Amino acid sequence: MQDFLKAYLPDESATQALGGALARALAPGLVIYLHGDLGAGKTALTRALLHAAGHQGAVKSPTYTLSEPYRIVLDGQPANLIHYDLYRMSSPEEFLDAGFREDFDGRNICIVEWPEKGAPVLPPPDVTVLLTVSGLGREVELQALSELGLLCLERLHYPPTP
């Protein structure tokens, strides 16, 4: 079983392709942490994933709202995906006070930008994604950290960098 994938995303179409591949690999209850500097492409990847998963409307960064819920289609069935951006949180207690912990219920798919701002109260990830600016593109590393994460990477059909 593959628990790690590394790839180079030379342009936005490659980011969209990876987002599409991730959308097809999602499972209920999956928790994905997105790591990377400002401008690394975390929201762009999430936007591509959401559109590939059937979301028709705009996808905005939840920088100021902290979370944005979406209805998507997962294996032909409606599902909830919640996109978090914890960058503006000043303490992990804000995560608890906002009631976000209840969203991690084993049914919702949760994608979290800046997860380190929610540590140690944030539930653990199934998959981590690290995006790094590299030239005009992005390096991306995905790592599975649970059985559900392994299933996700196993279902992910995206060509790794040789």
Q: Which of 44, 36, 34, 35 is nearest to 11 (CA)?
A: 44
Where are the chain's structural domains?
Answer: 4-155
Question: Using CA atoms, how far apart are residues 69 and 161, in angstroms rounded to an integer?
Answer: 32
Q: Which tokens sit at 143?
A: 């790592």
pTM to 2 decimal places: 0.94
The pLDDT of 48-70, averaged and rounded, is 92
- pLDDT at position 160, please? 55
The pLDDT of 123-143, averaged and rounded, is 97
- pLDDT at position 162, please? 47
**Please, which pLDDT band fits residue 1 given cuts at 50, 70 and 90?**
low
Which of 62 and 130 is assigned the larger pLDDT? 130
Q: How do 4-9 and 137-144 pair as beta strands? A: antiparallel
Question: Using CA atoms, how far apart are residues 71 and 141, in angstroms rounded to an integer?
Answer: 27
Q: Please list the residues that pair with 4 across neighbouring strands.
A: 143
Cα angle value 131/41/122 (rounded, 5°): 70
CA-only gyration radius of the chain, Å: 15
Per-residue pLDDT tens over the stretch 108-126? 999 999 999 999 999 999 9
The amino acid present at 136, given as its one-letter code, is L
4-155: CATH topology: Rossmann fold (3.40.50)
Does 29 score more than 90 pLDDT? yes
Q: How do 77-85 and 4-9 pair as beta strands? A: unpaired
Per-residue pLDDT tens over the stretch 89-101? 999 999 999 999 9
- 3-class secondary structure, 4: strand
Q: Which residue has the tokens 């503006």?
A: 88
The amino acid present at 31, given as its one-letter code, is V
C-alpha distances (whole Å) from 28 to each of 17, 47, 162 are 21, 18, 31
In sequence order, the 6+-apart residues with CB closer than 8 A to the CB of 127 are 30, 31, 32, 33, 142, 143, 144, 145, 149, 152, 153
- Of all residues in the chain, the percent with pLDDT exceeding 90 is 86
The pLDDT of 2-28, averaged and rounded, is 94
